[in-house]
Every structure is written in C-alpha cells, then in structure tokens.
Amino acid sequence: MPESKESLRAPRRLIGPLWVGGLLVLLAFLVLYPLSMLVFGALSDSNPVVDGFAKFSPSLDHFVEVLVNENVHLAFFNALVACGGGTAFAVFIGLFFSWIVVRTDTPFRGFIAGASMIPLFVPPLVAGVAWGILGSPKTGLLNIALKWLDIDFRFNFYSMPGLIVVFGIYYAPYVYMFTASALRNMDPSLEEASEVSGASAFATLFTVTFPLIAPAILAGTLLSFVVMLGIYGVPAALGAPANINVLTTYIFKLTAWSPPLYNTAAAVAILLMIVTAILVWAQQKVLSGKSFATVAGKAFRPRQLSLGPWRWFTFGLALIYLFIVVILPTLALVIAAFRRFLFFKDFDAVFDAKAYGLWHFNAVFDNPLTMLSIWNTLKVGVITAVLGGILAFAIGYTVNRTTLKGRRWIDLLATIPVAIPGLVIGVAYLWAWIGLPGGLYGTIWILALAFVARFMPDTVKALSTSFMQIHKELEEAAWISGRGVLSTIFTIVLPLARPGVIASMTLLFVLAVRELGSSLFLYTSDTTVMAVLLLDYYEGGNTGKTAAFSLVQTLILGTLLCITTLLSRGAAQGAARTG
C-alpha cells in the first residue's frame, strides 16, 4: 500500500522516544520500584507488604542511629581501607596481566589468560575459607610448612593486610576483563607512532597505551571497589577472627538480629549507595569531554610487543602469580574437600594418605538437593546471561551510541544497583515483586529477574567500554551506504563489540551462579540454587562439604570459561578482520 514520505517519518520520529520510554519503564520496574521499597524501609519501621503504605510515617531515625554509631564509623573506615587497598592491588595485577596477555609475546598467553580468570569464579565465602586454611596464624598450611622448614616467619591472613591481598587477588579479574578487551580493540598505530617518535616501549605504555584505555581502567577500578564494598564472604571469613568489621559484616549482623533489623540495614545500604553515587559522578567528571575512540575504520591487527628473552621473565612472573592465586587456594580447597578433617598435627600429617577420601563428595551428592540446585543454577544462569546480555546491550548502545533524550537517566538507573549489598536488596525484591500477578513468585524467572537487575551495572559497564572504543565513523559509513539503525547494529556494532558482549554475558552468568543475597529470599523448595546450599554447608560448619561443593561449582564455571574463551578468541580474530 503506497504511503507518503511524511506519514512514514512521523512514526519514525516517535521510535526514539518510545524506545527510551520503554527502557525507562523497564528500569523503573527492575530498579526504582525495589529501591523505593528500600527507601520506604529505611524511613520507617514497617514491612511494606505486611503493614501497607497506610502506616508509613517517615522519620530519619535509622539514618541518625547509623550515623552516630561509633562502630559504624569504624566499620566504614575499615571498609575504605580494605577495599581501597584491595582495589589498588587489583588494578596493578589486572592491568599487568591484560598487557602480558594481549600485548606481549609471552609464551602460553592463552593459558595465562584462562587461568588468571579462575579467582572470579570462586565465591567470596569460599575464597575467604581457602585463605583461612592457608594463612591462619596458628594452623594455616603455609605456617605449618614454614615451621617444618624451620623458618621463623609466619603469615597472618586474619588481618587487614590479609583482607587487602585477598580482595586484590579476587577482584583483579574484573580489571583484567575490562582492560584486556580494551587493549584487544585498540588500534596499535598510535603506539607505533609513539615509538617512531623515539619513545621507549615503557614510556609508550604509560603515555599512550594506558591513557588510551583509561575508561576501561577507571571502569574496572570503580567497579571492583564498589563490588568489594558489597562483599560479605571474605571479611566474614578473614576479618571476623581478628575482630575487623566492615560495612557488610555490620549489615549481616543487623539482618541476623532477633528480630532482624532490615530497616536499619536499609539505611546503611542507602548510605553505601550515596558513596557509590559520588564515585560514579567523579568517574564521569574525569572522563567527560574526552574521546577514547581507538577502533576506527582502518584495518589493524592487534600488535604484540616482542620482549625477546624478557618474555620468559614475564612468563615466570605469570607462573608465580598463578601459583599464588590459583594453585595455592585450589590446593587448600582440594585438601579440605578430600580430607576428612582439617586438623594437622604437623606438616607430615598433610601427606597421610589414610586421611583422604571421597566422604564429602559422597555426602554432597547423597543430598537430593545437590543435583536439583545445580540444574536450577544452570537454568537461572543461562536465562540471566541471555536476558541481562540483551538488556545491557540495549542500554549500553542507547547510552553510548545515540543522542536520544533521556539516555542519561537510563545510565543513572542502570548504575544504581551496584551499590546495594545483596543481603539488603534481596528483601527489597521480595517486598516489591511478591505481589506481582501471574505466579512469577516461586519460579526460576523471579530469580533471573533479580539477578538481571542486580548485576545490570556490572554488565552495562563491561559493555560500555567496548562501545566507547568503536568509532562513530564505522556506523556513519553504514548509514551512508543506506543501512538502517537495526541493520547497522547487527552488521557493524554487534560484531565489533562481540568480545565485550561475550565477556559481559560470561560475567553475568558467573555472578548469577554465585549470588546468594537475593536468592535467599526468592528461592523456593523447587527452585533452590547452589549458592543457597553452599551457605547451608558453610553455616553448618562443614568446611569439607563446603570445599567439595565449591569445587563442583568451580568445575562447572571453569568449563564455561573454556567455552567462552574459545568463543571470544574467535570473536577477537573476527573483529580484527572486520575492522
């Protein structure tokens, strides 16, 4: 049916606002609505579902209570020191390894890349437990070994430096994911220009390479800091024995109180959000007005720096790092999983073969909930990764690649959940979504929905760095050639951003598998997930079963890592060709 050009343009003009409006409505449902429940909770003493909004009499009592509490001040200070130190360490490690893997000819780079991601798959609680087994001042395996070697030095991971090191190790992959993908997508001609102008490789690294991937470094730094602020497992396992409290352990105490003080916990959570908001604002202030486009419409091949004999030095450093970060804690977990009890009279007792067996694995798989939880977790993980990936792509594209009105609001809404600790947001989701019609409550889908909402900032930020690097001229070229917006996205943007998309979906899957806080409130007997069962083993004081079950979890995630590494390697090559 023939239509005039005018009548076609009118609906087209509406597409932009409709698209933004749709995203805003979706984000309001996923973020604002649960958040309003949290604010309601923090400003009152009531449960919005039980008491309804009629009894709402707002007061700032919970905020005042929290702000004047000396123990909160101390917990806040401890959190800043532990997370600040941990972030600095994570950035150092993450940046170093992304450079080694992407930009040098260090041998076995693929292996190093895969292995250095392993810490990301270990639930924080398990990481804390593993490092407690290794570095407890009295019975830690490292200290038993030192004693056997007649060396006087003793490690003490039940301390602030211990917390910083473990945080640094486990959140370095965040920085790595951001910076490696940025380095992979960077046009090396800029570095070549620097070197042609007489700069040394070292000077080029610090004056050209790192400044160019500054958005990725900053995003990784910020995200790892904020995520650390919200972690409970590591400070619970390593800080508690030394009486070092951080904000999350304080919040946990509030929720474990009898009766649980969710309203006060909500107030602490909102204060945490304010801190995060300031950090995000600072990040945007630093980055505003600068162009970081390094993927332009010119063909390039990822450049590799030839290190000569030094490549064996970097390889050696990588091996030492992997030994400390992957082998040692895994060994501790393997020992805990296969050993009946973790009591070591002396170092020789570690090698007593009779003490090892499959008891814990048998017990874990004897539990009918185990297989159910694995199956449910995989389902929730896949649904979350796919739905969250699509949503994050839509948000990331709208925010970074369009000039549509309202995109800043989308960015803001998508960033908010990063700052809310899982234990608190879990109850907000329950309050918000339990009344939804259609029987969503009690299904796998409500868990997936919570995970998509909770980890949206992580996914969107991981993707945004990829978008920021793709030069606008590539899309413009497509438009000039007559392609529409959707066609341009599918033929130009998506293939170029594929490593980032795969990385963020992998990240989402991993985070969904590990997530406990929101699962605890939304799972039912049929939808129990691995994180819930893992907490049960831990809370029961079953280190052996906790270790055995977390090894199973790590194995599942490790298999996924291998698949996605292969996919993203293919994607990187594909992107290089396409560019």
Partner 1 sequence: MKRRTLMTGIAGAAAGWTLPALAQANEFGSKELIDAAEKEGSLTYYTANFAEVEQEVIKAFNKRFPKIKVAMVRAPGGQLITRIKTEAAAGKLAADVVDHSDRGLMLELQDLFQDYTPPNAADYRPDALVSPKFWPGVTLGWCIAYNTQLVKNPPKTWMDLTKAEYKGGKQIGQVVGPSGGTTWTRIMFERQVLGDDYWKKQAATEPVLYPSGAPTSDSLVRGEISIAPLLYNIIYTKIVEGAPAETVFAPEGVPIIPYADGIPKTAKSPNAAKLFMNWRLSKEGQTFAIKSLGNITSLKEPPAFPKGWDPKVIKAWVPKFAEFEKLRGPWVEEWNKTYGYRQ
Nearest CB to partner 1, comparing residues 356 and 409: 356
Of 125, 140, 135, 537, nearest to 350 (Cα)? 140
Residue 553: what are its φ and ψ, rounded to 5°? -65, -45
Position 50 contacts partner 1 (CB under 8 A): yes
Pick from 159, 284, 367, 491: which binds partner 1 (CB under 8 A)? Answer: 367
Cβ–Cβ under 8 Å, residues 162 and 174: no
Position 24 contacts partner 1 (CB under 8 A): no
**CB neighbours of 222 closer than 8 A, spacing ≥ 6?**
279, 280, 283, 461
Q: For residues 104-123, which are near partner 1 according to CB under 8 A?
A: none
Position 154 contacts partner 1 (CB under 8 A): no
- The number of angstroms, rounded, from the C-alpha of 523 to the middle of its chain's C-alpha atoms is 22
**What DSSP assignment string belongs to 144-186?**
HHHHHTT-------SSHHHHHHHHHHHHHHHHHHHHHHHHHTS
* Helix, strand, coil shares, percent, the chain, to 5: 75, 0, 25
* Least distance in angstroms from the C-beta of 458 to partner 1: 24
Nearest CB to partner 1, comparing residues 57 and 258: 258
Segment lying near partner 1 (by CB under 8 A), choices 113-121, 310-318, 325-333, 366-374: 366-374
Position 156 contacts partner 1 (CB under 8 A): no
Cis peptide before 34 (omega within 30 of 0): no
Write the single-letter amino acid at 547: A
Pick from 207, 284, 542, 578: which binds partner 1 (CB under 8 A)? Answer: 542
Nearest CB to partner 1, comparing residues 152 and 539: 539
Position 342 contacts partner 1 (CB under 8 A): yes
**CB neighbours of 554 closer than 8 A, spacing ≥ 6?**
118, 121, 122, 330, 333
Q: How many residues bind partner 1 (CB under 8 A)?
A: 59
Pick from 9, 138, 147, 577: which binds partner 1 (CB under 8 A)? Answer: 138
Position 348 contacts partner 1 (CB under 8 A): no
Segment lying near partner 1 (by CB under 8 A), choices 47-55, 80-88, 96-104, 552-560: 47-55
Position 359 contacts partner 1 (CB under 8 A): yes
Segment lying near partner 1 (by CB under 8 A), choices 104-112, 136-144, 208-216, 225-233: 136-144
CA 571-576-579 angle, 5° bins: 115
Position 16 contacts partner 1 (CB under 8 A): no
Pick from 182, 283, 545, 564: which binds partner 1 (CB under 8 A)? Answer: 545
Pick from 90, 533, 547, 561: which binds partner 1 (CB under 8 A)? Answer: 533
- Category of 430 on φ-ψ map: left (φ > 0), alpha (ψ -120 to 50) or beta: alpha
Six-digit token string for 334: 């393997």
Segment lying near partner 1 (by CB under 8 A), choices 3-11, 188-196, 256-264, 558-566: 256-264
Q: Hey, is 106 helix, strand or coil? A: coil
Q: For residues 402-461, which are near partner 1 according to CB under 8 A?
A: 427, 430-431, 434-435, 441-442
Cβ–Cβ under 8 Å, residues 134 and 142: yes
Nearest CB to partner 1, comparing residues 211 and 260: 260
Position 521 contacts partner 1 (CB under 8 A): yes
Nearest CB to partner 1, comparing residues 63 and 441: 441
Segment lying near partner 1 (by CB under 8 A), choices 174-182, 303-311, 412-420, 520-528: 520-528
Spatial distance between the Cα atoms of 530 and 555, rounded to a whole number of angstroms: 13
Pick from 236, 266, 399, 493: which binds partner 1 (CB under 8 A)? Answer: 236
CA gyration radius for the chain?
A: 25
Six-digit token string for 278: 């300031």
Q: For residues 482-511, which are near partner 1 according to CB under 8 A?
A: none
Nearest CB to partner 1, comparing residues 40 and 321: 40
Position 540 contacts partner 1 (CB under 8 A): yes
Q: Please report, in angstroms and rounded to a whole number, the separation of the first and last CA atoms in the chain.
A: 40
Spatial distance between the Cα atoms of 118 and 140, rounded to a whole number of angstroms: 22
**CB neighbours of 193 closer than 8 A, spacing ≥ 6?**
none
Cβ-count burial 271-292 (b if 16+ within 10 Å, e if not): bbbebbeebbeebeeeeeeeeb
Position 262 contacts partner 1 (CB under 8 A): yes
Segment lying near partner 1 (by CB under 8 A), choices 207-215, 322-330, 367-375, 498-506: 367-375
* Residues forming the site for partner 1 (CB under 8 A): 47, 49-50, 71, 74, 136, 138-139, 236-237, 240-241, 243, 245, 249, 253, 255-260, 262, 340-345, 359, 363, 367-369, 427, 430-431, 434-435, 441-442, 520-521, 523-526, 528, 532-533, 536-543, 545
